[in-house]
């Protein structure tokens, strides 16, 4: 019961969007909040930053909610033709939140991590270890998302990425790419969850 309470805690009343502005549950519900695909009357975003925040927040929320009510065993299951599990997808998504925003956008370096260390193969970030739990993986994902917000808040969307390897693209491209990738993985998670227990949609 405590674990599920922590999972649903992602649906907070007030959170911060990409612009750093606190928004209410009645409007966008933020980074890990609303899963509504169509806004209510008068709730459409009024700026590019708000629009990006709403769409990325929708995808992040949809991804996390695929783990809502799932047992530790089912979270690790790979019931489809792919090698993906629900927990592995969220763990992978946390890794790339960190890489795209903290490394690429902010130019931070983490010794021994990407891009210095590119070993392990393309699927390494999906791999789970004994200590990974639904609670711990979701908590880590939320931490990385919160830091992503702080990074984007401090820069202009037109600004180039600070990491030299991505200096040819701007912050806007990174945010759009994360919308694309998070939506893709939320779709993967939706199929896996339906295969496990028949649950469908967001």
**pLDDT of 42-72, one tens digit each?**
678 889 999 998 899 999 999 999 999 999 9
Res 115 pLDDT > 90: no
Rounded Cα distance between 48 and 142, Å, is 23
Q: 168 or 26: whose pLDDT is higher? A: 168
Burial status of residue 128 (CB atoms within 10 A of its CB: 0-12, 13-18, 19 or more) = middle
**Residue 103 forms part of a structural domain:** yes
List pLDDT tens digits, range 176-193: 999 999 999 999 999 999
What's the CATH number where 67 sits? 1.20.120.450
Res 173 pLDDT > 60: yes
Number of domains in the chain: 1
pLDDT of res. 200: 84
List pLDDT tens digits, range 74-89: 999 999 999 999 999 9
Rounded to two decimals, the pTM is: 0.79
List pLDDT tens digits, range 87-103: 999 999 999 999 999 99
Provide the 8-state DSSP code for 13.
Answer: S
pLDDT of res. 37: 55
**Residue 48 forms part of a structural domain:** yes
The token duo for 44 is 């459409």
Q: 49 or 41: whose pLDDT is higher? A: 49
**Residue 202 forms part of a structural domain:** no
Q: 61 and 38 in contact (C-beta within 8 Å)?
A: no
The domain in which residue 137 lies consists of 2-197
* Bridge partner residues of 14 (DSSP): 24
Res 5 pLDDT > 60: no
């Amino acid at each position: 019961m405590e674990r599920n309470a922590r999972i649903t805690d992602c649906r907070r009343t007030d959170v911060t969007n990409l612009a750093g502005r606190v928004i209410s549950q009645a409007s966008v519900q933020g980074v890990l909040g609303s899963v509504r695909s169509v806004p209510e009357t008068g709730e459409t975003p009024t700026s590019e930053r708000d629009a990006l925040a709403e769409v990325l927040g929708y995808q992040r929320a949809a991804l996390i909610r695929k783990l809502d009510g799932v047992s530790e065993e089912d979270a690790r299951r790979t019931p489809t033709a792919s090698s993906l599990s629900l927990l592995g997808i969220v763990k992978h998504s946390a890794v790339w939140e960190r890489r795209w925003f903290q490394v690429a956008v902010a130019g931070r370096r983490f010794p021994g991590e990407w891009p210095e260390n590119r070993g392990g193969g393309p699927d390494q970030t999906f791999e789970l270890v004994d200590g990974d739990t639904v609670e711990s993986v979701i908590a880590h994902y939320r931490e990385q998302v919160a830091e992503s917000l702080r990074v984007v808040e401090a820069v202009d969307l037109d600004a180039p990425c600070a990491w030299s390897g991505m200096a040819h693209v701007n912050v806007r491209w990174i945010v759009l790419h994360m919308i694309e990738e998070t939506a893709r993985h939320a779709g993967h998670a939706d199929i896996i969850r339906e295969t496990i227990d028949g649950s469908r949609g967001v």
